[in-house]
Structure 1
Amino acid sequence: MNAHATPSAPLMSDHVLTVLEFPKVRAQIRELAATSLGKERVDMLRPLSERQAAEAELAAVDECLQYLHRQGPLPFGGIRDIRPAVRKAALRSTLSGEELVAIASFIHGARRIRQALLAAAASFALPRLMATAERLADVRDAEQEIRRHLDDEGQVLDGASPELRRIRTQKRETEARVRQVLDGMLRTHQRYLQDPVVALRGSSLCLPVRVEFKNMVPGVVHDYSASGATVYIEPQAVVELNLRIRELEVLEAREVERILARISAVVGDAAPQLLTNADVLAEIDSWMARAEYAVRAGASRPRLADDGVFDLRRARHPLLPREQAVPIDLRLGDAYQMVVITGPNTGGKTVTLKTIGLLTLMAMAGCFIPAGEGSSIGFCDQVFVDIGDEQSIEQSLSTFSSHMRHIVDMLAHVTQNSLVLLDELGAGTDPTEGAALAMAILDHLRKVGCRVVATTHYPELKAYAFRTPGAVNASMEFDVETLRPTYRLLVGVPGRSNAIAIAERLGLPAAILAQARAWLDRRDVAVEDILAQMERARQEMEAARERAVAARAEAEALRAQWEEARTRLEEETRRVRAQAAAQAQETVARAQAEADRIIRALRQMHAQAVKDHELVALRKALADALPEEPAKTGRGRQPASVSPGDVVRVLSLGQKGEVVDVAGDGQALVVQLGALRMKVDATDVEVLQKQPPAAPASLGVRRGLPRTVPLEIDVRGETVDEALPRVDKYLDDAVVAGLKRVAIIHGKGTGALRDGVRRFLNRHPHVASWTPGGPGEGGDGVTVVELE
């Protein structure tokens, strides 16, 4: 299946899949499939030989994941494996009613899947799923044919044919006559009967007659009770009727068989479409199962790199519990193509190898992998593995021989596009020869150009990785203080044996430790010391880096908060200024409109008494009352001499307000602008009216800002709930301002707002009366209110 590099390259072997535990992952995915069709398709899951095919599978799983997040699971209910029944129908065999009903449910289920995908595709893109769903054939005719003739339990309906209806009608009538005759005999022959009931013996309805009266009831004897006191007799009066019933049953079965054969033929004609639908649904279910697995495993979509570069970020072994698995980071294939991992036993070297290999197989099979976003897998033509104790008693092979047999086979087929995973390379023989063989094998693989990850205990391989271009040391971190591995992969740092350090921590006598150190080659001691220094420096650098990252994150968070606060303040300032300017423009516009109306009225009433130039002068004065643009400020002006209570105009806003407070240096003022209180520069105001001397304290009077209340309020476009609070406030302001007659503009529309306002006016304490607007006042779209 995975012959990718050369015609002679073998398929991805079952040995590799088993050693890397791919079948266990496949079994977990299988449990998430909704149908037996999907489970069967997952069982066939293997790494693909073409990168484009694997990318297409990953894209389909990605779309299913989007669907899961937005819509939930697909409705796979009613979909079963109907392929055996369909193949029988294609051979013109007659299917049972149960088989036909299952096929009808399958057809309906396939249509429901297609409709669900079509509905989802209207909201977000599902190109791969939609292209697959388009292959689902519409076999509704076969479904309707089945539903017309069979009920949900697979029984043929009476209306399936006129002949079947006639036969069953006669059968029911005959059975009713039998029951009628037997009921009559229960009454007339009661003294001969053991019990006044009708008993069923075989397929015959009988009377339980006391044995001493058996000659009193003519008929056919079918059975005796265990005691012999009762004989079960089918009365002669119903024998012929029962024979007729059995004859009708034979005719019924023959007609049912004919109907099932005809329906089966319809299914047989649709067999190619049904088998295609089964294949499509199996594929979709397989994708959905992999998407569900991605959700549960916290997996992400990997990038399949055609340049062979691996970039695993926080990768976890998928079979380890998420809370226990220590993630690893590894980059392989660009700066270096070979990683040599050293470290103590049980430190996680083998798990690291299996993680790399298993995630590679999963990605090539179109599965998401438990690794961070942005992880990539170098697409391989083959994955070669030599992991674990491969000793074979049957072949009389030692552990070393078994390893060599796998490596020999590997070297015969490896290419530059392969991934090679070697565990404890060279182990199981003399350390000197084993190290030499290991370096020779690694050097051969380096020349081939494949990607290699190998684990070892040999110090010679550390030196080999140091001096060989394209190779790098790595180690599994070990905490000497706790004598426990941390399972973290450290790339670029060779591992230490830690044997003497561990023995010392466990209390081995000092004399023995000294003797052990004396026997160590001085070069080995120097290397161990250098490695220890490197490890300490790495830990210090890691701690410093973590502190720097934390400090930077804190600074970034503070900066983000400051930027957000500044942006929010600027937006609020712009909004307030724009709102104030808009209110001012609206007020002056209403004043202009009112002035225009008055001028028109004056012209009509006093055309001869009022001169045009005087009217123009009045119009110009109103235009001059427009507020200035908000962009204009009072910079360059001398600060105004103001005191609390003065009426001023804020030049930048063009709004009148009352000074509430003056800062100590007189450079800043707090001004009340209607409902808004804001701080402005003293150079940005113009004094309109000075505060008069304070009234005597006994009067208790405070002069507020003069307010101008308009003669009308416009609530068009608002709901009743929105308009009524505004109307209530407006009426209060109008009463305070001394207005006696105001207008509420609510429009006509549906009449809901008008009726709501008028009901409100009926119970308002300040309203003396109200009337609809006159012809020149807006008609029924306006309500004129008389205030008390």
Structure 2
Amino acid sequence: MQERVLHILEYDKVRQHVRGFAATRLGQERLEQMRPLSSIAEAEAELAAVDEALRMLLRRGGIPFGGIRDIRPHLRKAAIGGVLTAGDLNEVAFFIAGGRRARTAIEAAAEAMDIPRLQEMAAGLFDARQTELELRQAIDEDGLVLDQASPELRRIRNQRRAEEARIRERLDQMVRHLQRWLQDPVVTVRGDSFCLPVRVEFKNQVPGVVHDVSSSGATVFIEPQEIVQMSARVRALAAEEDREIERVLQRLSGVVAAVAEPLAENAERLATLDAWMAKAEYARREDAQRPRLRTDGVWRLTGARHPLIPKEAAVPIDIRLGDDFRMVIITGPNTGGKTVTLKTVGLLTLLAMSGCFLTTRSPSDIGWCGEVFADIGDEQSIEQSLSTFSSHMRNIIGMLEHVGPDSLVLLDELGAGTDPAEGAALSMAILDWLKARGARVVATTHYAELKAYAFREPAAINASVEFDVDTLRPTYRLLLGVPGRSNALAIAARLGMPETLIDQARHHLRTDDVRVEDLIAQLEAARREAERLRAEAEQELAEARRERAQWVQEREAFEQSVEQAREAALREAREVVARARTEAERVIRELRDRQRGGPVKDHELVELRKALEDALPEERRVARRKGGDAGRAAVGSTVRVLSVGQKGEVVERSADGRELTVQLGMLRMKVPVDDVEVLSAAPERVQAVRTVKRSVQTVPLQLDIRGQTVEEALPSVDRYLDQAVLSGLPRVTIIHGKGTGALRDGVRRYLSKHPHVSSWAPGGPGEGGDGATVVELK
């Protein structure tokens, strides 16, 4: 792709805008080199990667690139045997840690979403954790060499600190001893030397080296002779420390050199990841859409806007090219948006070929181009004695040698700058040449002849930028299929040009021109009316579709609920019948077996009755209305209380038969007989079970068997426990008295083996003591 075309279409400005979203210098450098890719496969792969990055950005917040610096110069220096500084090694450690964080973030995101390209790029990052540990053991995060970098360095620094401590201690002693000779009782530093501020008249009293004199001359700064000797030892240790630090840095540089190649590969991978995330952030900020690249040379841009025009100011355009026609001839007044349309088509094409999302309202189609050619703007050059026409012709001639079927050609003001007749003729010849080569062309012009050319040429179509004559302002809307008007006379009239001059100008127009202008005006009026009617029709159609969709949804939901209810009712009915049949057969079989063994005990009968009752369907499952008069409302019947509209069960009937007690869920209420509607009468076995229930529900909390023998008492205890369990009592008391203890012991032995008893204990204080037994029931 020619650099001149990239510059004309302002590709470099968008590239710099995208570069601003990169988080690292590596990513910025990669985006500075961004250009249209060489193949559609590469562009599709880049778009897919940016799409993954955008999804990760929206759902997970992107990739953390903190600490990642451009360490490639450090790696090259270490690889050739150079010694890195502590700051360089610190940046390498930060880079390794940053790469690991980026990889971890991508792996975590891959567990929740499908991002194969990001995952593959991150999987290739070399894990230099061991190198990082070695660096961090010797270099802290501020870039300082630590004492533990080597045993020798620790020894030297400890010795140096001890010497410096002795110097400070000795200086403090001198300050106290020589205080009367000092200007101030403090220790000052001049250069690398510790000095005392001695008054000038006492300078001979303090032997040492004079390092400075105050501006007034009243104070001299003397390093005492004793301190000079001690400082010399410190400086010697400092030099030894520097040599040891150099050895440490040389060793660590060798460690980095051993992994220089994989770390350089990490830098390339992180640059790619950062570039992808920057493109994704650009797409998010600009609300851009992923384009569809096509190999058949078809463009379909929907709601496209120029990326450099603010969203709130841009007027989106819709444009097609390459399907029914290969050339679009745009006409209309100056400043109406013709050139912006050209640049928008060209720039979005270049961005799509570079793997960037496009500023369109919805995903749009971009034809893949082998080359984009553009002649836009006035390139008149005084130095080269080139007129506007000559400059345009030179650019177009350069294009014609290289245009092919996969080329996009953008021509602004085709044929301008010369005689209109000759310019129009030359323009049509150029368009014929480009058509013969199979190129896709978007051109702007003012020539009426080119409007006619687009009418009669099947491969071309007219288009125009809309202009509001009433306000004398362009609307910047692109209209396909409608040629534009210059509106020069209308604009002049609106600006106050005398009507006589306007009429005289109209007389000078050729009849054909007037007829064409009138025809275009009629076409525009018809188009506006058609657009208005179309908008109304689309609105009504959308409303009808919404209502139809809502109706279909409600109908499907109703049919589904009916079907589910029917299936549930059938399934429940089958389960109830099967359970009742199975339980009835089991009860009958057990009764026969027990009758063969002798009389059936009362508690056994109670258990069997309870089993039959459990087999009955719940009252809430009665769905069929049976009707009937209120006289059939016996205990156990299912009724509807008419005054409240609720279903319930009759639990009691008054002696005179005029009033019923009905259980409505958690509520029990008395209602007149004529206020109920019988839905279903209770079966005889249900009434029998209800009778048993009512009898057992009056079971007392204690049983007194005092005065009975053990043989007399045990049957009573057994019946009492059965009734207590059936009534749901958790705890009862059996009063047997103390006496001789025979009755107490016999009852307790019996309770220890009874199936309904969970545990028993003697009565506590206030419960009868050992004369009673408290029984916990299962």
TM-score, normalising length from structure 1? Answer: 0.79
Paired residue for 2:639?
658
The Cα offsets for residues 583-630 of structure 1, whole Å up to 9 and x where unpaired, read as 66676677667656754653454227899xxxxxx99x9999879xx9
CA distance in 2, matches of 1:736, 1:330: 86
The residue matched to 1:607 in structure 2 has which SS? helix
> In the alignment, what sits opposite 2:175?
186
SS at match of 2:451: helix
- For residue 672 of structure 2, give the secondary structure of its aligned residue in structure 1: coil
1:103-161 CA-to-partner distances (Å, cap 9, x unmatched) read 10001101111111112112222222222223322222221111011111111111111
Quick one: distance in 2 between partners of 1:66 and 1:273?
29
Instruction: State yes or no: 1:701 paired with 2:672.
Output: yes
**Structure 1 position 531 matched with structure 2 position 520:** yes
1:521 maps to amino acid:
R
Per the alignment, residue 124 of structure 1 pairs with 113
Q: Does 1:432 align with 2:421?
A: yes
3-state SS of paired residue (2:555): helix
**Is 1:296 equivalent to 2:285 in the alignment?**
yes
Question: Which of residues 227, 242, 245 is equivalent to 2:231?
Answer: 242
Q: 1:406 to 1:438 in 2, by over 3 A?
A: same
Q: By how many angstroms is 1:354 displaced?
A: 0.6
What residue ranges of structure 1 are gaps of 5+ in the alignment? Answer: 1-11, 612-617, 649-654, 663-669, 676-688, 710-733, 743-765
Question: Is the radius of gyration larger for structure 1 or structure 2?
Answer: 2
Q: State the secondary structure of the residue aligned to 2:105.
A: helix
Task: State the match for 1:285 in structure 2.
Answer: 274
Q: What secondary structure sits across from 2:266 in the alignment?
A: helix
Greater shift in the superposed pair: 374-383 or 770-779: 770-779
Q: Which residue of 2 aligns with 1:346?
A: 335
Distance 1:706 1:419, change over 3 A: closer
The 1:641/1:262 distance shift into structure 2, 3 A limit, reads closer
Q: Does 1:40 align with 2:29?
A: yes
For the residue of structure 2 that corresponds to 1:154, the secondary structure is coil
Residues 476 and 490 in structure 1, CA contact (< 8 A), matched pair in contact too: yes
Query: 2:132 aligned to 140, 143, 149, which one?
Result: 143
Q: Aligned letter for 1:412?
A: E
Match of 1:606 among 572, 591, 595: 595
Give the Cα separation in 2 of the matches to 1:212 and 1:624.
121
Secondary structure of the corresponding residue to residue 443 of structure 2: strand
In 2, the alpha carbon distance for the partners of 1:499 and 1:485 equals 13
- Describe the SS at the equivalent of 2:197: strand
Superposed, which structure 2 residues align to 1:587-666 within 5 Å?
Answer: 595=584, 598-599=587-588, 602-603=591-592, 605-607=594-596, 658-659=639-640
Give 1:412's aligned residue: 401
Which amino acid counterpart does residue 157 of structure 1 have in structure 2? L
Paired residues of 2:639 and 2:680 also in contact (CA < 8 A): no
Which deviations, in whole Å up to 9, do the C-alpha atoms of 1:220-263 show, x marking residues without a partner?
33232223322222222332221111110110000001101110
Q: Cα gap change, 1:741/1:246 in structure 2, threshold over 3 Å: closer, same or farther?
A: farther
**Structure 1 counterpart SS, 2:301:** strand
Contact kept, 8 Å, 1:167 with 1:248, in 2: the verdict is yes
For the Cα contact (< 8 Å) 1:392–1:398, is it kept in 2?
A: yes
- CA deviation profile, 1:268-319 (whole Å, cap 9, x unmatched): 2221112111111111111110000001111111111111111111111111
Match of 1:53 in 2: 42
Distance 2:550 2:504 in 1: 62
- How far is 1:373 from its partner? 3.1
Do the aligned partners of residues 257 and 741 (structure 1) sit closer, same or farther apart at CA in structure 2, a change above 3 Å counting?
Answer: farther
2:381 aligned residue (383, 389, 392): 392
Alignment of 1:14-25 (within 5 A): 14-25=3-14
* Amino acid in structure 1 at the alignment position of 2:264: L
Whether 1:444 and 2:415 are equivalent positions in the alignment is no
Distance 1:647 1:136, change over 3 A: farther
Pair 1:109–1:293, CA change in 2 (3 A): same
The alpha-carbon deviation at position 59 of structure 1 amounts to 1.2
Q: 2:257 aligns with which of 262, 268, 283?
A: 268
Aligned CA distance change for structure 1 residues 397 and 251 (closer, same or farther; 3 Å): same
What is the CA deviation profile of residues 313-361 of structure 1, one whole-angstrom value per residue up to 9, with x for unaligned ones?
Answer: 1111111111221111112112111010111111111111010000011
Q: Secondary structure at the match of 2:144?
A: coil
| In structure 1, distance between residues paired with 2:190 and 2:546 | 89
Aligned to 1:375: 364
What residue is the counterpart of 1:322 in the other structure? 311
**Alignment-mate amino acid for residue 255 of structure 1:** E
Among 467, 486, 489, which residue is 2:478 paired with? 489
Q: How does 1:89-104 map to 2 (within 5 A)?
A: 89-104=78-93
**Aligned partner of 1:332 among 318, 321, 327:** 321
Checking the alignment, whether the CA contact within 8 Å between 1:603 and 1:610 is kept in structure 2 is no
Q: Which amino acid in 1 is paired with 2:127? A: D
3-state SS of 1:394 partner: coil
Q: Do the aligned residues in 2 keep the contact of 1:473 with 1:494 (CA within 8 Å)?
A: yes
- Which amino acid is 2:447 matched to? Y
Match of 1:168 among 157, 160, 163: 157
User: What displacement does 1:480 show?
Assistant: 2.5
State the secondary structure of the residue aligned to 1:184: helix
Q: Using the TM superposition, give the Cα deviation of residue 579 of structure 1 relative to its aligned residue in structure 2, in angstroms.
A: 5.8
Spell out the pairing of 1:775-786 with structure 2 (5 A cutoff).
Answer: 776=755
The answer to whether the 8 Å contact 1:647/1:659 transfers is no
Alpha carbons of 1:646 and 1:510: their partners in 2 closer, same or farther (altered >3 Å)? farther
Q: How high is the TM-score relative to the length of structure 2?
A: 0.80
- Residue 372 of structure 1 deviates from its aligned partner by 3.5
In 1, the alpha carbon distance for the partners of 2:90 and 2:37 equals 37
Distance 2:758 2:286 in 1: 70
Unmatched 5+ stretches in structure 2: 601-608, 661-669, 683-691, 701-726, 734-750, 760-774
Q: Distance in 2 between matches of 1:23 and 1:286?
A: 16
Q: Please tell me whether residue 564 in structure 1 is matched to residue 553 in structure 2.
A: yes
> Aligned AA for 2:639?
E
In the alignment, is the contact (CA less than 8 A) between 2:627 and 2:680 conserved in 1? no
Q: What's the CA shift string for 1:529-573, capped at 9, x where partnerless? A: 222222222222222211111111111111122223223333444
Q: Is the 8 A contact 1:602 1:610 kept in 2?
A: no
Q: Which residue of 1 aligns with 2:144?
A: 155
Residue type at the aligned position of 1:313: T
Structure 2 counterpart of 1:565, which letter? E
Is the Cα–Cα contact under 8 Å of residues 576 and 616 in structure 2 kept in the other structure?
A: no
Q: Which amino acid aligns with 2:167?
A: V
Distance of aligned partners of 1:740 and 1:162 in 2 relative to their CA distance in 1, 3 Å threshold: farther
In 1, Cα distance between the equivalents of 2:512 and 2:569?
A: 84
Deviation at 1:218, TM superposition (A): 2.6
Describe how 1:507-546 pairs up with structure 2 within 5 A. 508-546=497-535
Q: CA deviation at 1:365?
A: 1.0
Any idea what SS the aligned residue of 2:401 has? helix
For 2:331, the aligned partner's letter is T
Match of 1:750 in 2: none
* Residues 608 and 233 of structure 1, relative CA distance in 2, 3 Å threshold: closer
- Equivalent-residue separation in structure 2 for 1:736 and 1:377 (angstroms): 85
Amino acid in the other structure paired with 1:106: F
Shift of 1:432: 0.8
Whether the 8 Å CA contact 2:283–2:289 is kept in 1: the answer is yes
Do the aligned residues in 2 keep the contact of 1:646 with 1:659 (CA within 8 Å)? no
For 2:87, the aligned partner's letter is E
Task: Find the aligned partners of 1:100 and 1:352 in 2 and give their Cα distance.
Answer: 52
Instruction: Letter of the 1:367 partner, please give it.
Output: C
Q: Distance in 1 between matches of 2:465 and 2:524?
A: 12
User: Residues 303, 155 of structure 1: CA spacing in aligned structure 2 closer, same or farther, 3 A cutoff?
Assistant: same
Partner of 2:765: none
Per-residue CA deviations over 1:412-444 (Å, capped at 9, x if unaligned) read 211111100001101111111111111111111
